Amino acid sequence: MVLESPLTPRSDYSRLINLQISALRTELQRRPQDDQLLNWMLWREREQTSGGFLVDLGEGKRSLLTSLISHNRSLRTLIIFAENSLGEWIETMRRSGLSVAKYFGVNRRFLLSTLHELEVPVATTFKILMREVNLLSGSAPELQYNSILIQTEFQRIVIDGLGDPVFLQKLLKLRAARRWVIAGDLIDSHVKLHWHLRALCASPFDEKEFWDIWINNKDGEAKARVDLLMQVLQLRVSASPPA
């Protein structure tokens, strides 16, 4: 989301939440009538709250995201996944006629100076990202920004699963205007929802203080706000596209 609210005074929260809820409702009004999955995702990428999370996609999740990438190949895209998903992602993109730059193994050395110039999707793993920001080595914080992944400004990031909270902290260092998260299961709790909103950098809903006051207080209005967020940001294939 585009509204910034770092350490917003409590007295200003009411005005801010009204602005944000109004923006979300406006986005819903602009949603195309055709709710085909790809059209829904293209709509999400045009909105201010760009991107979203995908739930219950089964085997079609990678094909759907590959179709999205193919639709606009000019957007610099980073795809992050677990190592055991590597073969499936590469094969899915190959079938779609997409070339991909593999940012792992020996290929990393050859991409260091050209990553920001590539016009094909860049694929890497959770482990590589964590290594890039020196999470596993315990290096000093000031050295964490030497990562080429962090230095590159992507236009879209696709995250196949969120991993653990430690990984989420490193994910937030990546820069991208559009973010997609594949959820492994239903987002059926406030904890999971807040986790996914943080991954999307959906300000101000990703801020803990804001979240606790306006969403996590479990009153009737909070439930309505959660329902609106889910309508705008979540795609569930096993049920139906957002209504």
pLDDT per position as a tens digit, 176-195: 999 999 886 777 777 888 88
| Average pLDDT value for residue range 200-213 | 83
Taking 70 as the threshold, does the pLDDT of residue 5 lie above it? no
Choose the weakest-confidence range: 34-43, 67-76, 233-242.
233-242
Main-chain phi, psi angles of 221, to 5 degrees: -70, -35
pLDDT tens sequence across 151-182: 888 999 999 987 677 778 778 888 899 999 98
Residue 181 or 5, more confident: 181
Element (H, E) at 137: none
Which sign does the torsion angle of CA 176, 182, 186, 191 carry? negative
Query: Which residues, in sequence order, are CB contacts of 141 under 8 Å at separation 6+?
Result: none
pLDDT band at 143 (very low <50, low <70, confident <90, very high): very low
Q: Is 185 helix (H, G, I), strand (E, B) or coil?
A: coil
Q: What is the DSSP letter of 119?
A: -
> pTM score > 0.85 for this model?
no
Bridge partners of residue 232, in order along the sequence = none
Fold of the domain built from segment(s) 30-236: Rossmann fold (3.40.50)
At 179 the pLDDT is 94
Lowest-confidence segment of 91-100, 124-133, 229-238 by average pLDDT? 229-238
Angstrom distance (rounded) from CA 151 to CA 230:
32
Q: Say how far apart CA 150 and CA 129 lie, in whole Å.
A: 9
